[in-house]
Amino acid sequence: MTHGPAAAAGRSRVMITLGREPPGSRARFELLWVGKGIPGKEFRRESGRERNSGVKVLVFAGSMRAASLNKRLAKVAAGALARAGAEVDLADFREFEVPLYDGDLETASGVPAGAQALASRLQRAGSLCLVTPEYNHSIPGTVKNAIDWLSRIRPSPLANVPALVMSASPGLAGGSRAAWAVKVPLELLGMLVYPGIFTLAQANQRFGPDGGLKDDDLAERLEKLCEDFVRYATALDPIRAARPA
């Protein structure tokens, strides 16, 4: 696990080896990351043998689009969370499709199947990474609508669930206003929202052909945030376990 010719030549190289031991034992991760050979900017991370944190994260982007930038970021985040020791359930928002909230519909037929599916996936995971697009300086109506349906379920599938928020946009603000906005209903509903966020500005230019982030500094920041979130969710485990009915 050392520098090869690519690193010596100052080229960017990422090598991730994921090995699994027999069922029941802990997953092993080895990560070597050699950054760009820019003077003063080289970085190298080796997490060594890792680490099944016991944290499981449901990851999805709040976009329906097949070519969604937020979906691409969600995939990158899923990889970073896995390297940080989390078990990851990467979902597509379309799996949780719901009608517009309607009190009469709720009275007639209850909470729709898409919201029930989202609630059970979330409960099975125990924590959430939500990557939201930004529409008109806030969250898309689809995301808010899903949250509204979730809020009708008892016991609450959101209470005491750790959550990490990210956003991506072609704009210069990276969807940051949506990322902040989504914290309001999530916190109101009792989620334990991690204070840090990851926002990806000019997201349409940020992904390389392998689907990863082209910029080493951004990639490094995302890795660090995911590591911090996994530690945070681990520390909150006793609170998670004491979910109110």
Query: CA-to-CA distance for 22 and 7, rounded, in angstroms?
Result: 33
Beta carbon nearer to ligand FNR, 49 or 94:
94
Beta carbon nearer to ligand FNR, 82 or 200:
200
Beta carbon nearer to ligand FNR, 72 or 83:
72
Q: What are phi and psi of 164, to 5 degrees?
A: -115, 135
H helices present in 88-236, as ranges: 103-109, 113-125, 141-150, 176-188, 216-235
Residues near ligand FNR (CB under 6 A): 61, 63, 65, 68-70, 133-137, 169-171, 173, 175
192-200/162-168 β-pairing: parallel
Beta carbon nearer to ligand FNR, 63 or 127:
63
Contact 186, 143 (CB under 8 A): no
What's the min distance (Å) between Cβ of 171 and ligand FNR? Answer: 3
Query: CA-to-CA distance for 67 and 235, rounded, in angstroms?
Result: 36
Beta carbon nearer to ligand FNR, 143 or 236:
143
What's the min distance (Å) between Cβ of 146 and ligand FNR? Answer: 15
Query: CA-to-CA distance for 214 and 111, rounded, in angstroms?
Result: 41
What's the min distance (Å) between Cβ of 131 and ligand FNR? Answer: 8
Helix-helix angle 141-150:113-125, to 10 degrees: 80
Per the structure block, which two tokens stand in for 57? 């994260």
Beta carbon nearer to ligand FNR, 138 or 234:
138
The number of angstroms, rounded, from the C-alpha of 73 to the middle of its chain's C-alpha atoms is 8
Query: CA-to-CA distance for 127 and 150, rounded, in angstroms?
Result: 15
Beta carbon nearer to ligand FNR, 61 or 130:
61
What's the min distance (Å) between Cβ of 142 and ligand FNR? Answer: 10
What's the min distance (Å) between Cβ of 108 and ligand FNR? Answer: 30
What's the min distance (Å) between Cβ of 14 and ligand FNR? Answer: 24
Q: What are phi and psi of 200, to 5 degrees?
A: -115, 100
What's the min distance (Å) between Cβ of 104 and ligand FNR? Answer: 27
Q: What are phi and psi of 65, to 5 degrees?
A: -65, 135
